[in-house]
Amino acid sequence: MGLKLHGSALSTCTARVATAIYEKGQEFELVPVNLVTGEHKQPGFLAKNPFGQIPALEDGDLTLFESRAIASYVAEKYKDSGCDLIRHNNLKEAAFVKVWSEVESQTFHPVISAIVHQYLILPLLGQQTDQAVIDANLEKLKKILDVYESRLKNSKYLAGDFFSLADLNHFPYIFYFMRSPWTSVVNDRPHVKAWWEDISSRSSFKKVAEGMALGQK
Ligand code: GS8
C-alpha cells in the first residue's frame, strides 16, 4: 500500500512532506483536504490529526501528523534510497541536522511565517494586512539571516557540506517569501542567496513548487 498524503498542494506544510518523499524517490497519493469548507475540522480528518491541521500521512496502518515529524519519518524509513537527509551513519553530522532543523522550526519559522501570513494568506481570505507586523518580522528575519550568512560562509548547507532535512524544511516558506517585495532580505546576503538558489533548483523542490505556484501573486 502506498503513501497517502492528506493535504493541499498550496500548503507549506504539505509541500515540506511532499519534498521529502520526492527526495527519497518515492511517490504518494495526494488526498485533497478542503480548508475552505472546513473539511480539516470534520471527524473524518480529525481522526487523522486531532488538532485539525493539514497535512497527515497514512502509511499502511500508520497515521502521522506534524509535517517536520512526517518528513523525518520518511527520511528514516527510506534512509538507503535517494539523498541521505539525516546523515544516519555519522553521529556528529546527524546532530547538526537536528540543530539546524530546530533552528528552522523554533527561530526561523515563527518569523517568516508571520510575514507570509500577512502578505499572502490574509489577502486571500479578504482580510487586511498589518504592515507593522510585517516590518517588525522583517527586522527579525534580517538578524536571523545574518547568522545564516555567517554559517553558510563556512559550510555549503546549514548542517554541513551536505544537503539535509535542515535545508529541506526551509523550502516552503522561503518559496512564498520570494514572491514578496522583500526578496532583498535573501538576495543581499550572498551566501544565503547562493544556498537558496542551490536548494530551490533541486528536482524535488521544482516538482512541489509547480503545485504551489497557484499561490503566487
Ligand atoms: C502546522 C500545520 C499547519 O499549520 C505542521 O504540520 O507542521 N505544525 C504543523 N497547517 C495549516 C496549513 S499550512 O500549510 C492548516 O492546516 N491550517 C488550517 C487551520 O489551522 O485551521
Distance 92 CA to ligand 1 centre (A): 31
Q: H/E/C letters for each residue in the chain?
A: CCEEEEECCCCHHHHHHHHHHHHCCCCEEEEECCCCCCHHHCHHHHCCCCCCCCCEEEECCEEEECHHHHHHHHHHHCCCCCCCCCCCCCHHHHHHHHHHHHHHHHHHHHHHHHHHHHHHHHHHCCCCCCHHHHHHHHHHHHHHHHHHHHHHHHCCCCCCCCCCHHHHCCHHHHHHHCCCCCCHHHHCCHHHHHHHHHHHCCHHHHHHHHHHHHHCC
Contact (CB, 8 A) for 51 and 65: yes
Distance 188 CA to ligand 1 centre (A): 30
How is residue 27 written as a grid cell? Answer: 511517490
Could you identify the atom of ligand 1 that is nearest to the CA of residue 35?
Answer: 18
So what's the pLDDT on residue 215?
A: 46
| Residue closest by Cα to atom 9 of ligand 1 | 66
Could you identify the atom of ligand 1 that is nearest to the CA of residue 13?
Answer: 14
Report the alpha-carbon distance of residue 192 to residue 158 in Å, rounded.
Answer: 10
Report the alpha-carbon distance of residue 177 to residue 109 in Å, rounded.
Answer: 12
Closest by CA to 174, choosing from 208, 203, 151, is 208
| CATH entry, 91-214, from 3.90.1150.10, 1.10.3720.10, 1.20.1050.10, 3.30.465.10 | 1.20.1050.10
How is residue 126 written as a grid cell? Answer: 479578504
Instruction: Write down the CATH number for the domain with range 3-77.
Output: 3.40.30.10
Per-position pLDDT tens, the chain of length 217: 699 999 999 999 999 999 999 999 999 999 999 999 999 999 999 999 999 999 999 999 999 999 999 999 999 999 999 999 999 999 999 999 999 999 999 999 999 999 999 999 999 989 999 999 999 999 999 999 999 999 999 999 999 999 999 999 999 999 999 999 999 999 999 999 999 999 999 999 999 999 887 544 3
Helix 131-154, helix 109-116: angle, nearest 10: 140
Distance 68 CA to ligand 1 centre (A): 11
Going from N- to C-terminal start, the domains of the chain cover 3-77, 91-214
Could you identify the atom of ligand 1 that is nearest to the CA of residue 68?
Answer: 7
Contacts of 119 (CB under 8 A, 6+ apart): 129, 134, 180
How is residue 116 written as a grid cell? Answer: 507570509
Distance 155 CA to ligand 1 centre (A): 31
> Which residues surround ligand 1 with Cβ inside 6 Å?
11-14, 35, 40, 52-54, 66-68
Distance 53 CA to ligand 1 centre (A): 5
Substitution site in 10, 12, 13, 74 for ligand 1 pocket (most atoms within 8 Å of beta carbon)? 13
- Residue 47 phi, psi dihedral angles, 5° rounding: -70, -20
